[in-house]
Structure 1
Amino acid sequence: MALHTWWLYVTAVFVISATPGPNMLHVMVQSIQHGPRRALASMAGLMTANLIYLVASALGLGALLKASPGLYDALRYAGVAYLLWLGIKAWRAPMGGGEGAAVPVARRSLRVLYATGLGTGLSNPKLIVFAAALLPQFIDVGRPFVPQLGVLVATFMVIEAFWFGVYATGGRSLARWLAPANRQRLFNRVTGALFIGFGAALLGSRI
């Protein structure tokens, strides 16, 4: 893989990763609720899901999903259900009263934060198909496949981690503004609606 080809890949992934989606929204919400440090566990879960899908795509699962619409739909419906569950959970998050301050969010274990991040990352099987379509465009068939794939996957993970950090930092800043209960309630409603919207978009998508 030539250097200029790698830079094209970096540019494409940088722009794509920056686009708000369920993963970035999840990172921001966890940073607001639990702080950027504990949100690292959620990021680790999301990164694990990304790695699983990228490797699965390289192993041919993307082609299998294209050839098996039923299997793809099964994964897609599971992802839709999970995103809808996240949306309803966010929408119905409990609020405090009296002094106008939001109720502190119950402290979750790092294991739970990781598992929730993993589930969110795995909720969108389109990443497999996306990777199957994107990665081959940047691989030189005249050079060894595995080293090139390793570079592409590592590059994707680093860029994704960078944007996770950006959204987590934004969540930390928002946490101060969200101290009053009415703002927290509004944020919960918007977050819930966005997760439900992501689920609806996934439901209406096709390979």
Structure 2
Amino acid sequence: MTLQTWWLYAFAVFLLSGTPGPNMLHVMTRSVELGFRRSLAAMAGCMLAIALVLAASAAGLTALLKAIPGAFEVLRYLGVAYLVYLGIKSWRADVSPEDPAGADMARRNSPMALFRGGFTIAISNPKLLLFAAAFFPQFIDPAQPKAPQFAILVGTFTVIEMFWYCTYALAGGTLSAHLRRPSVKRLFNRVTGSIFVGFGAALLTSRAA
């Protein structure tokens, strides 16, 4: 892989990762609700899922799933169901002030719970596997060892994706100052809930290549 090829890849990933999607929306909503520092656990969950999916794609898992009839359809429906669940949950979220010391709230917003939430939303998108299978090979030089090149591509993707997570989380932290009023917070929850459902609908109508 030449330096020019890497720059082209990095620029493409920068633009693609910056486009709002379920992961970015999830990180931003966590930051709105809990603040930037608490949202780091959600970011870590998303990043681990993405790294695992990209590594699995590089190892040939995408080709294996394509060879299994209906595998991507099952994954797609699971992803749709989870996105719709998040949308309904956001739409119906309680906007009344909560006791930050409450045991139930502490359990739901523990670092592990936030990590699991980020991991689940990122791993539930089967299109990530297809993206890796279609996108990565364009930047691989077949005349050179593939493993180091995949490592560079995955590492670059991770750094850029994390940059955008932090950007969205910081925006969410700033936005939270304007969401003190329950009526405004309810509107925000319903808008983000509708967007999650919209992502689910888009995934439902898409077709694996």
Same fold (TM over 0.5): yes
TM-score by length of 2: 0.93
Structure 2 residue aligned with 1:149:
150
Q: Distance in 1 between matches of 2:197 and 2:99?
A: 24
Q: Distance in 1 between matches of 2:99 and 2:3?
A: 49
Structure 1 residue aligned with 2:159:
158
Structure 2 residue aligned with 1:168:
169
Shift of 1:104: 6.2
Matched residue SS, 1:153 = helix
Q: Distance in 2 between matches of 1:23 and 1:55?
A: 18
Q: Distance in 2 between matches of 1:80 and 1:69?
A: 19
Q: Distance in 2 between matches of 1:15 and 1:132?
A: 18
Matched residue SS, 1:140 = coil
Return structure 1 stretches of 4+ with deviation > 6 angstroms: none
Matched residue SS, 1:83 = helix
Structure 1 residue aligned with 2:2:
2
**Aligned letter for 1:88?**
I
The 1:104–1:17 alpha-carbon spacing in structure 2 relative to 1, beyond 3 Å, is: farther
Shift of 1:52: 1.1
Q: Distance in 1 between matches of 2:123 and 2:22?
A: 11
Shift of 1:67: 3.4
Q: Distance in 1 between matches of 2:136 and 2:69?
A: 21
Taking the TM superposition and a 5 Å limit, the aligned residue runs for 1:1-207 are 1-96=1-96, 102-103=97-98, 106-107=105-106, 108-207=109-208
What runs of 5+ residues in structure 2 fail to find an aligned partner?
Answer: none
Residue deviations 1:65-86 (CA, integer Å, cap 9, x gap): 3333500001111111111110
TM-score by length of 1: 0.94
Query: Conserved in 2, the CA contact under 8 Å of 1:63 and 1:129?
Result: no
Q: What percentage of aligned pairs have identical amino acids?
A: 55
What runs of 5+ residues in structure 1 fail to find an aligned partner?
Answer: 97-101
Q: Distance in 1 between matches of 2:198 and 2:124?
A: 14
Shift of 1:103: 4.5
Shift of 1:64: 2.6
Query: Conserved in 2, the CA contact under 8 Å of 1:66 and 1:129?
Result: no
Residue deviations 1:135-193 (CA, integer Å, cap 9, x gap): 01001111111111100000000000000000000000000011111110000000100
CA RMSD after TM alignment: 1.2
Query: Conserved in 2, the CA contact under 8 Å of 1:86 and 1:195?
Result: yes
